[in-house]
Amino acid sequence: MSIAEPPVPAAAYDTTVDLLVIGSGTGMAAALAAEERGLDVVIVEKTGWVGGSTARSGGAFWIPASPILAESGSGDTPELAAQYTRAAVGGTAPEERWQAFLENGPETVAMLRRTTPLTFLWAKGYSDYHPELPGGSAVGRTCECRPFDASVLGAERPRLRPGLLEAPVPMPVTGADYKWMNLMARAPVRAIPRILRRAAQGIGGLALRREYMAGGQALAAGLFAGVLRAGIPVWTKTALARLATEGERVTGAVLVQDGREVTVAARRGVVLATGGFDHDIV
């Protein structure tokens, strides 16, 4: 199947769920968290692909004091993270918002470990943007996925959003690998073994019918694998037409698929994970 032609989606239909998630990038994480709590969830995606912007991103994430950092010996603590975030954010955002991010971030990482086959690594040396600020870290707090085998998606593999570029040789290059690739001329002893290892993993994986990928592709593939394992439906080529409301409460949404409207009532709410502000040019 050509990657320019997304698979035919499953038909959307009128239904009632606990939580409706609009957007199949990081929206998949919200769906997994809800499903783990016993909620009935449906994910809706406007395009024909699953993965959203996540699948075309670098795939790194900045979550302070996470289990990954603790296990890697980074020395990060919630207190240092709060000190740095307060200094970096200042009065530009409500304090309760970034406090909630810091408090819930580590559990988000733990949840992804429980609900997906993803494994993560600390991108040691990827500095905080402002390491000079109080609580800042020159070794950084950024983490990313280890190379992930997308063949575990099975028959659903064609629905994963393709990357932006096709490498001439299959190599699942992480952000940490990319750093050393750029330093190959200055530090060949460190760089060349990493490059050879990733090339061997990619090419050898093909021989074993495995498809290793890194970055945002790996993150999206791993989230999708967790969604499939949990049995959460993903309706592609299905757009949000409008939210349904009762007074000030959102009660669901009207969706459009192939020119046909369907209504999904949501007992607990609707999550909008639709690509961020940069995807809305209005």
Q: Compute mean pLDDT per 10 residues along the chain, 282 residues long, and list them.
A: 68 97 97 98 96 91 97 97 95 92 97 98 93 97 94 95 70 67 68 69 70 91 98 97 96 97 97 76 58
> 150 by DSSP, 3-state: which?
helix
The answer to whether the beta carbons of residues 226 and 117 sit under 8 Å apart is yes
pLDDT tens per residue across span 198-208: 766 667 677 66
Give the total residue count for the chain.
282
pTM of the model: 0.87
CA distances from 48 to 36, 44, 45, 188, 242 (A): 26, 10, 7, 42, 20
pLDDT tens per residue across span 29-71: 999 999 999 999 999 999 999 999 999 888 999 999 999 999 9
